[in-house]
Amino acid sequence: MLRTLSKKTILRESLNTVLIVLGVFSAGLGLKGFLLSSHFIDGGVTGISMLLSHVLGIPLALLILLINLPFIALAYRQIGIMFAIKSTLTIAGLSLCLTFVQYPDVTPDKLLTAVFGGFFIGAGIGLAIRGGAVLDGTDIVALLISKNSNLLKVGDVILLMNLLIFAAAAFFLGIESALYSILTYLAASKTVDFLIHGIEEYTAVIIVSEKSDEIRESIVRVLNRGVTVYKGRGGKTGKDMHILYCVVTRLEIGNVKNAATEIDESSFILVHPLSDVVGGIIKKPALH
């Protein structure tokens, strides 16, 4: 058992290492191959480093390492030593990559630079997160601030930080560069979301129908998905009925809707995204 567990651990950590290395080189390509030559920046700690590098003339590789390290030190208390070590090595790897790896200047087109620069940076951040590390300390900062504030959530903190960063970019780099930088940030954030959640991002589906038993049987038998049944009552009709609640991937939403409407065209269906799912019939890919 211990030998099998050890092999699984080695395999898992080897995969995480590959993801982190790919993430480092991808982020390096986004920065040196696209953004730096056009004076565009990203959001978060990376964006702060790029802006300070432009204004002060300090090498970007050094700033990325120095600005991120205090946040990694804080994360050591909140998350753990392995996360802190992995993240430190990952950020140091990015600094070395920016210093020694020669990337070509891919395109002078500003729109392509903003979109694909953001894509490769986002891919780097997402792959690093999948490998159990971070390339940017923004999320750590936001989490720590939100824990000590009853008014601000993590998303609010990230938004406020980036508003300040892009306002500073507009002042030092010009309005046009700031606008392209916002496009870069949007491309990066969407890429990160896709790499973390992928096509298996989970969605909750609530179905209200007088034929709920038939719909439940169809979902369980055909889709092999678990269904939770709530007892409910129509607010207008006063009739007792069962309310179905199931969790599926985005690719399966259409199948669940079709299963419900084929049995009851008048069924009421509510769909909303979920931030996380653990256990049950659904098997969510783990982030280590």
List, for residues 215-237, the tens digit of each pLDDT value. Answer: 998 888 877 788 989 988 877 77
User: How high is the pLDDT of residue 286?
Assistant: 39
Residue 74 has pLDDT above 90, yes or no: no
Alpha-carbon span 49 to 59, nearest angstrom: 9
Confidence class for position 81, pLDDT limits 50, 70, 90: confident
- The pTM for the full model equals 0.73
Tokens at residue 55, please?
């204004």
Confidence class for position 138, pLDDT limits 50, 70, 90: confident
More confident residue, 17 or 221: 17
Longest dimension (CA), the chain: 71
Could you tell me where the beta strands, DSSP code E, fall in 138-261? Answer: 202-208, 227-233, 240-249
Tokens at residue 28, please?
């390096």
Residue 190 has pLDDT above 60, yes or no: yes
Alpha-carbon span 38 to 108, nearest angstrom: 8
Q: Contact, 71 vs 140, CB < 8 A? A: yes
User: How high is the pLDDT of residue 144?
Assistant: 63
Residues forming beta bridges with residue 230, ordered by sequence position: 243
Give residue limits of the domains in the chain. Answer: 2-198, 201-273
Q: What is the mean pLDDT of the chain?
A: 83
More confident residue, 62 or 162: 62
Q: Contact, 203 vs 137, CB < 8 A? A: no
User: How high is the pLDDT of residue 135?
Assistant: 86
Tokens at residue 20, please?
């982190």
Residue 8 has pLDDT above 80, yes or no: no
Q: Classify domain 201-273 at the CATH topology level.
A: Alpha-Beta Plaits (3.30.70)
Distance (Å) of CA 11 to CA 16, 189, 223, 268:
9, 29, 31, 46
User: How high is the pLDDT of residue 143?
Assistant: 58
Q: Which long-range contacts (CB under 8 A, 24 or more apart) does 107-112 make?
A: 107/34, 108/37, 108/38, 110/38, 110/40, 110/180, 111/180, 111/183
Range with the lowest mean pLDDT among 49-53, 222-226, 240-244?
Answer: 222-226
Cα 38 → chain centroid: 26
User: How high is the pLDDT of residue 1?
Assistant: 44
Mapped onto helix, strand or coil, the DSSP state of residue 51 is helix
Residue 283 has pLDDT above 60, yes or no: no
Alpha-carbon span 241 to 209, nearest angstrom: 7
Element counts in the chain: helices (H) and strands (E): 11, 4
Confidence class for position 183, pLDDT limits 50, 70, 90: very high
Tokens at residue 61, please?
């590789």
More confident residue, 123 or 224: 123
More confident residue, 278 or 67: 67
Range with the lowest mean pLDDT among 49-53, 112-116, 125-129?
Answer: 125-129
More confident residue, 284 or 18: 18
Q: Contact, 205 vs 216, CB < 8 A? A: no
Alpha-carbon span 170 to 165, nearest angstrom: 9
> Any residues with CB less than 8 A from the CB of 22 and at least 6 apart, and which?
124, 127
Alpha-carbon span 202 to 247, nearest angstrom: 7
Residue 71 has pLDDT above 90, yes or no: no
User: How high is the pLDDT of residue 273?
Assistant: 77
